[in-house]
Amino acid sequence: MVQKFLISYFLFLTSFFTFAQSDSCRLRISLLTGSPGEELYSTFGHSAIRVTDTISNEDIVYNYGTFDFGEPGFYTKFVRGKLMYYLSTENFSSFKQSFQQENRGLTEQVLNLSCIEKLKITTLLQQNLMGANKFYKYDFLFDNCTTRLRDLLEKAVNTPVHFMPVINKPTTFRQHIFEYMDYNNNQWTKLGMDILLGNKTDAVMNNREAMFLPDYLFKGFDSAKIGNKPVVESKTVAVDLPTQSPSASSGQKSFLTHPVFIFWVLLIAIVVMSFSKSEGAKKLLYGFDGFLFFITGFAGILMVFMWFGTDHIVCRNNYNLLWAWPTHAIAAFYVHSKKKWVKKYFLITAIVYALLLIMWFFLPQPLSTSLIPIILLLIFRSYTSLRERTIKRVHYGK
């Protein structure tokens, strides 16, 4: 009796695992990596998982980078870092077509997984699609649509995944990000991000952290192994990357509109105008001083808000507040006032900014060199305001 029971139990287990393997082996799992695009949202590329069923002919793309524009309070939640992203599905042909329309490349890496591992991945994906499970708190560096796919693979296999190095030298998050900000030569967006990002992005990444960007997850998968087995079975190009070199005229245009060029031209123009005796120039400078200090103060207020009023950890500990003083937003209305505190305020401003320039390249957070002419301009206009006030006082005394 015992022998019959053991034989029956063995046959049951055999038939179960045979069914599981034959059922899951009809699946093909692959990582899709999209190249960067021209729009800001596509600057860093994209990653998704493709699941193909060779029996039912289903061909589904699972995308963790989805959010709802129609969600109540969308913009407020987006700015404050409280917008929930979610997992969505799309037919592969539709997904591929969107990359073709945007002239973006798309590469597929078929994963070399066992039948059980494929089945586990699809099970985890289906669980993530259920109800509240599909939503997650997006974090650009540590929990995004790319890192979730790396984590998904690690959860589906019993043996640890060994990722080979994807970066050749010590690199910070900021450096990693700016590799892509130069893709479209949108230097104003790059400057804006540089100003808002705090020193947390200046930490040197480890190999795992570097895979928060799609291209580096692609590199990670390409050289990774599960035990002695390569993770990637084969690679194909689903959508060719267009080969279009930028024209000389676009390069010239980018130079003329680059923040560094514009800021230096602005500094020179204001300095020249400051020595003019024209009444029109004096009136223009009078208004410009208020505008300059107000914008600087407003930038400081925005940095404080992004640090303390949002969940964006990349905006914390921002050393740009050394030049963007929130108090400038109030002082802007008193630039040419005769009040005693105004003279002290702008004297302190000039001294602190001068010290800041001396320490510029020694701070814990690298500040953009594009801002140097702006700091010089703030120093010059602070000094000019003090000088004009001193001349008026001497003249009044005579």
What was the pLDDT predicted at 12? 39
* Positive/negative CA dihedral, 291, 292, 296, 297: negative
The domain spans of the chain are: 23-167+205-239, 258-397
Return the bridge partners of 200, or none.
none
For the chain, what percent of residues have pLDDT higher than 70?
A: 88
- 171-203 pLDDT, tens digit per residue, is 999 999 998 887 777 789 899 999 999 999 999
* Region at 243 (left for phi over 0; alpha for psi -120 to 50; beta for the rest): beta
What was the pLDDT predicted at 268? 96
What was the pLDDT predicted at 18? 44
Within the chain, which residues score under 70 in pLDDT? 1-24, 243-253, 388-398
What was the pLDDT predicted at 41? 77
Tokens of 334: 């008193």
What was the pLDDT predicted at 253? 53
For 379, residues 6+ apart whose C-beta sits below 8 A from its C-beta are: 349, 350, 353, 354, 357
What was the pLDDT predicted at 384? 85
The kind and range of the H/E element at 175 are helix 173-181
What was the pLDDT predicted at 243? 62
CA distance 135 to 269: 52
Asked whether the beta carbons of 336 and 385 are under 8 A apart, the reply is yes
> What is the length of the chain?
398
Asked whether the beta carbons of 263 and 373 are under 8 A apart, the reply is yes
Q: Is the full-model pTM beyond 0.85?
A: no
What was the pLDDT predicted at 388? 65
Cα R_g (the chain), whole angstroms:
29
Return the bridge partners of 364, or none.
none
What was the pLDDT predicted at 254? 72
What was the pLDDT predicted at 281? 86
What was the pLDDT predicted at 21? 45
Tokens of 113: 């997984």
CA distance 226 to 117: 11
What was the pLDDT predicted at 245? 43
What was the pLDDT predicted at 256? 83
Tokens of 340: 């005693």
Tokens of 100: 């073709």
